[in-house]
Amino acid sequence: MKKYNVAVVGAGVVGIEMLRVLKQRNFPIDQLKVFARSARDITVDGQVYSVEPVSADGFNGMDIALFAGTEGEKGAAVTFAAEAVKRGAVVIDNGADFRMDPKVPLVVPEVNGADVKKHKGIIANPNCSTIQMVVALNPLHKKFHIKKIIVTTLQASSGAGKLAVEQLNNETALIAQGGFNSVQASGVSRSMPQQLAYNCFPHIGSFVEGDYTNEEWKLVRETHKIMHAPKIKISATTVRVPVRTGHSESIYIETQKSIDPSEARKILAKSPGIVVIDDLKNNLYPMPKDAEGRDETFVGRIRQDAFNKKGLWLWVVADNLRKGAATNAVQIAECVISSSK
């Protein structure tokens, strides 16, 4: 089996998860480099990785470069992606910088894996909330032709990075010690715009056109691009919730054809990357605590709109650090090496 030289750029929560996923999926690696702003050693699942300062020449000889990305900001890919491509690497970027570039494929392998063949050196990894939604909806779109999507996301703190998880942990501990006023009295530092412990708020990203956030527009524009379906009407509300890891989504779709819940369950259960958990008699449905550490997208609470036979509700859950970021990026890399054979 041919082996590849792989670089992982970033040693935060997503970069660490990329290292974990590469190992767990037995990606065929010859040489592995880990880059970040500064040199140090990190330990992931008992294995020590030596982190080098990122530089253009560090990509010499690399076949694949996985950029962990910095959501909402100009990350390392802006500076170094082109340099990595010049040196022969295929860049897979988890940040937002290239996603809507018409020359850059935006890929979820279960949905549009063939699009990797169109790359000119860079492939974009979609937003975490978009990935799990399109995995769940694309099989239904193929059969019933979705016309409209209304989605509310309930996104975990880890989607905002390590500091957001620390904020949640610190606030929860303070409240447990001293009641609800203890967070305000402590002056605990925040990486998010509001208190998260014992709270939730509809504010992820920046408020932009139409008073939607840029996170909400990502769900619209990225879905159109990935599913090759620009006419689907999509409206989203994104909510930060006091969960460590695992995004949940309440999704309503309206289709051109009548859609029966039992048929939808059968289609989804046979689709790659999906696990259906929909046993209401036994109180079984997807939950973020059960999705954490898993690569599948979980779907449940599948039910028809009581007033519209062409309307269907779904509840969709996935680990935002794995399928929503690291795993999807590694799967893209797997598609790249498969398409090159």
Active-site residue, 335 included: no
Q: Considering only CA atoms, which of 223, 236, 244, 230 is closest in space to residue 320? A: 244
Beta-sheet pairing, 40-44 with 47-53? antiparallel
User: φ, ψ for residue 273 (rounded to 5)?
Assistant: 80, 5
Measured from the Cβ of residue 50, the count of other Cβ atoms closer than 10 Å reads: 11
Active-site residue, 224 included: no
Altogether, the residues listed in the chain come to a count of 341
Sign of CA dihedral 94, 18, 29, 294: negative
Q: Sheet harboring 90-93: ordered strands across? A: 40-44, 47-53, 29-36, 4-9, 64-67, 90-93, 122-124
Cα–Cα distance list, 14 to 66, 173, 196 (Å): 10, 25, 21
Residue 284 falls in which region: left (phi positive, over 0), alpha (psi -120 to 50) or beta: beta
Residue with tokens 């059968």: 266
Greatest Cα pair distance, the chain, in angstroms, is 61
Beta strands in 96-192 (DSSP E): 122-124, 146-155
> What residues pair up with 36 in beta bridges, in sequence order?
53
Cα–Cα distance list, 80 to 66, 87, 237 (Å): 11, 11, 33
Residue with tokens 């046979």: 270
Q: Which residue type occupies 83?
A: E
Structure tokens at 72: 């909402």
Q: Considering only CA atoms, which of 91, 127, 121 is closest in space to residue 108? A: 127
Catalytic residue among 119, 128, 141, 335: 128
Catalytic residue among 145, 203, 228, 247: 247
Q: Give the catalytic positions in this structure.
A: 128, 247
